A and B are shown apart, each in its own frame.
Chain A
Amino acid sequence: MANDHIDITVEPGEVHALLGENGAGKSTLMNQLYGLLQPDEGQIVVNDEPRVFKSPRDAIAAGIGMVHQHFMLVPVFTVAENIALGAEEVRGGPLGWLDRRRSRRDVIETSERYGLPVDPDALIEDLPVGAQQRVEIVKALTREVDLLILDEPTAVLTPQETEELLTVMRSLTAMGKSIVFITHKLKEVKAIADRITVIRRGQVVGTASPDTSEEELAALMVGRAVSLEVEKAPAEPGDSILKISGLVVDDDRGVRAVDGVDLEVRAGEVLGIAGVQGNGQTELVEAVMGLREVRAGAVHLEGEDLVGRSTKRILRSGVGYVPEDRSHDGVVKEFSVAENLILDMYDRAPFGNAFRIDGDSVASNAKHRVEQFDIRCQSPASLVGALSGGNQQKVVVAREMSRPLRLFIASQPTRGVDVGSIEFIHSRIIHERDQGTAVLVVSSELDEVVGLADRIAVMYRGRVLAIVSPDTPREEIGLLMAGITGDTPEGAK
């Protein structure tokens, strides 16, 4: 059951924050409100009138709009086409000849009325995510909605873009629109919400006002006291382990993604890479792991050249790797926990050789790891696909940390992971560092990078703009993430 008898009321002109961990049931709740899912019990009342939403069409008609976490925009369509879709302006009666001029004009009108600049003729796939989000908001507003649901809207934004979004939200509520703001980020909730409803395991566990402290909100969300800070001693960096020089890598479309990156990670330190998603971090890590072709430059692990080596050899030369897309690259969902724990070692002693796998040692290894890494599963024989995101990620971390490591690379290590597991994974990463492993952490969550890293490299459009200390003010790192370095005046628009 994803939602268990939830009651929630949204007043006109308010920002109502829906706070909860991944998998708490926030999106399920909102998908019912938007007509994408149908509730088994209970009812939706809009302006004192009970309504049944069979499809989003009914919800839109009742004045409810939604901006989804993954944008609902057709990449090969223009902005105007996307906004018109489903509510097209047509001429010529039954033929349904599109009136493109009127669609364009409507977009421009709405965009001016609410102060949300969008170019009606731009193709969605050419727009940065911040602009795509504006298109989504304009799309909802052209449908004259009174209630706007924003599902994790800040997950893909830079700190500056987040600020601007909050401003837009304020001006919308000032015009009388109501907003449901779904998030798990406490700072934003405190900054914008008029009321907060906290959801845990499909139930409302409490309501709070915006002046509740972050610690209290986190405790409500998780169900116990949690530490928001990563506890760690100062790093004691040793010799240089990973040395990346002049690295150039292309993305899948052949566009330059990493454009001359130099980095060094030393033993016993965590180097964090901050940056908005899509600025080359993924490609950088994939290139180091031998998963992506290196166009130019070198990658050395304690003097050994890694470029051109297979991923298997790189892993076996003492590199641990937590990929960013867990369900696609991290685990085999149809395999058991025990099998997933030896995916990298199945053909080696003690688990097996070229011809067979030793079931007993696989099972005893699994038992040991499940305890050591607090993996919550019915048994090591359960399929990984049946575990929660946090426990799946623990399987990946456990596997990658079960070899002697010189270098540990984690890409988005806590994406889609519950707060409890985040704490645990962070402490394991720091533990690995303290044993003298060089650690490289890539995350689009600035809090995570700041919490874990001893040094922070900020990436923007395939380049490392600066390497800063984690004590640097947030605003400064945020500006760097937006590509503003301070010493290039033309970027400082």
Chain B
Amino acid sequence: MSTTTVEEMAEVTAPEPFWSRQRHLGVALILIGGLAAVVFGSLAPSEDARFTLSEDSAGAALAINGQFGAVLFGLLTAAAGGVLLAGLLKRWSNVFLVAGILSFLLSFLCWQVAGEFMPLVDTTDGTLELALPLILGALAGVLGERSGVVNVAIEGQFLMGAFAGALVGTMAGSVWAGLLSAAVGGVIIAAILAVMAIRYLVDQVVVGIVLNLFALGITGFLYERLMQPNAQEYNQPPQMPEWRIPGLADIPVVGPVFFEANLLVWIALVLVVVIHFGLSRTRWGLRTRAVGEHPTAADTVGIRVRGLRYLNVLLGGVVAGIGGAYFTLVATGSFTKNMTAGAGFIALAALIFGRFTPFGAFGAALFFGFAQKLATYLSAIGSPVPSQFLNMLPYLATLIAVAGLVGRVRAPAADGQPYIKG
């Protein structure tokens, strides 16, 4: 058996059809770019759009004429599309795709912000804060799904975490006790999911949905019976303190966002890196991926498939539970019924949009967080664009991702399939 067979295989790669994915995307970018240049350009008033570095309209700012900017960035979008269509620089096609989409966004912003101002620090800060639960939720998903267990119950884990965090945080009078019990709350839901999916082989999506409803029901009930009548005793958790790292926090824009933040921000950022390297570089990661791709192969080399799946789903529960703590210990000072309002599903969307990778999920979560922040900003400046449109963005982006427009989203091969020995 000679090794030549390997090289022979390389020859048979099919001839690329002319209408490749890049070319389709190129046409799409040219169309939306042109549309942006014409529509946004004609609607935008010819006034300065100011992006300020401070909290208010004063201070250092980047300014551009709104009409000019809308047309310019629209044309840039179309130009990026042109590069893709012409089939130039194929290695950089994803860069051009991202550049095109960013230009489109900027064109839109120039139209909207013309005559107004957009505080950059506040926007970035808000983006990160809104993205925070999404990052943690999506990471929880990464942990489960890479080992082959679909986790639709992120929403339920959020709710449980938020509730437990508020309840125990108030009763113990300690935000750290709250955080710890939030993690426990997430683990409770994760444990039910794990036992049902791994031990009893129930359809994982169905279990996930049922768990979401269960979490909604039980927290809603306890909220009405326990928390509402005795809010002081049970529903006034202390808030997570903001810590400031001297020196680093003085860097413009980046400083106040990343280095004057609460612990959850740092937990989330560190977890993205840790899970990324854990999955790609450690024994645990290699085995997790093997179990998610081909569990029988893992079993035949002596890896405990079910054990590893339990571990990962439970770890996911910890991470999602901490994500739930954001709602009661960071964002608001108390628990309310169904307060997560679908954030768990957006986290799931971020997971898929991010192609089941930690950094991908992080990027997607930031993008969705930005969309939410933009929605509140636009309604604040009285934009004619309904904020609901921007809130649709995560779901729309996920549909586009799943449809394969941004490259194949390939889930782990054994994702959602229970492992039956023998």
Contacts and interface: CB of A to CB of B under 8 A. Distances in A.
Contacts of B302: 55-57, 60, 86-87
Interface string B1-33: 111111001001111010000000000000000
Interface stretch (A9-17, A73-81, A341-349, A401-409): A73-81
Interface in A105-141: 116-117, 119, 122, 126-128, 130-131, 134, 139
B281 A97 contact: yes
Contacts of B283: 88, 90, 96-98
B282 A96 contact: yes
Interface stretch (A180-188, A250-258, A317-325): A250-258
A367 interface: no
Contacts of B1: 116-117, 130-131, 134, 161, 164-165, 168
Interface string A468-489: 0000000000000000000000
A267 interface: no
B294 A72 contact: yes
A117 B286 CA distance: 24
Contacts of B284: 96
Given A87-B301, A98-B281, A117-B3, A31 B9 contact: no
Contact of B299 (A56, A71, A461): A56
B210 interface: no
Nearest to A57: B302
Contacts of A244: none
A85 B282 contact: no
Nearest to A251: B14
B6 A86 contact: no
A72 B13 contact: no
Contact of A126 (B4, B9, B14): B9
Interface in A27-62: 31, 34, 36-37, 55-57, 60
Contact of B294 (A73, A97, A116, A256): A73
A36 B299 contact: yes
Interface in B84-141: none
A36 B421 contact: yes
A478 to B, nearest CB: 15
B294 A75 contact: yes
Contact of A86 (B5, B15, B17, B301): B301
B297 interface: yes
A170 interface: no
Contacts of A139: 301
B3 A98 contact: no
Contacts of B289: 74, 76-77
B12 A461 contact: yes
Interface string B199-229: 0000000000000000000000000000000
Give the most central of A76, A81, A82: most B CB within 10 Å.
A76
B422 interface: yes
Give the most central of A72, A73, A134, A164: most B CB within 10 Å.
A72
B296 interface: yes
Interface residues of B, number: 35
A332 B422 CA distance: 23
Nearest to B5: A128
Contacts of A165: 1
Contact of A77 (B282, B293, B303): B293
A398 interface: no
B283 to A, nearest CB: 4
B301 A56 contact: yes
A84 interface: yes
B292 to A, nearest CB: 9
B14 A127 contact: no
Contact of B286 (A75, A95, A98): A98
A376 interface: no
B14 A72 contact: no
B422 A36 contact: yes
A68 interface: yes
A130 B5 contact: yes
A489 B169 CA distance: 78
Interface in A200-255: 250, 254-255
Nearest to A254: B14
Contacts of A60: 301-302
A327 B283 CA distance: 37
A74 B5 contact: no
A254 B21 CA distance: 13
A66 interface: yes
Contacts of A256: 12, 14-15
A101 interface: no
B290 interface: yes
Nearest to A253: B14
A255 B299 contact: no
Given A31-B422, A95-B282, A96-B282, A131 B5 contact: yes
Which 6 A-B residue pairings sit nearest by Cβ, starting from the closest? Answer: A86-B301, A57-B302, A96-B283, A72-B297, A255-B14, A72-B300
16 contacts: A36-B421, A56-B301, A56-B302, A72-B296, A74-B290, A74-B294, A75-B294, A85-B297, A86-B302, A95-B282, A96-B282, A130-B5, A131-B6, A139-B301, A255-B12, A255-B14
Given A86-B301, A255-B14, 14 more contacts: A37-B422, A55-B299, A55-B304, A56-B299, A66-B300, A72-B300, A74-B297, A75-B293, A75-B294, A77-B290, A88-B287, A126-B6, A130-B1, A461-B12
Interface of B: 1-6, 9, 12-15, 17, 281-287, 289-290, 293-294, 296-304, 413, 421-422
Interface of A: 31, 34, 36-37, 55-57, 60, 66, 68, 71-77, 81-82, 84-88, 90, 95-98, 116-117, 119, 122, 126-128, 130-131, 134, 139, 161, 164-165, 168, 250, 254-256, 461, 493
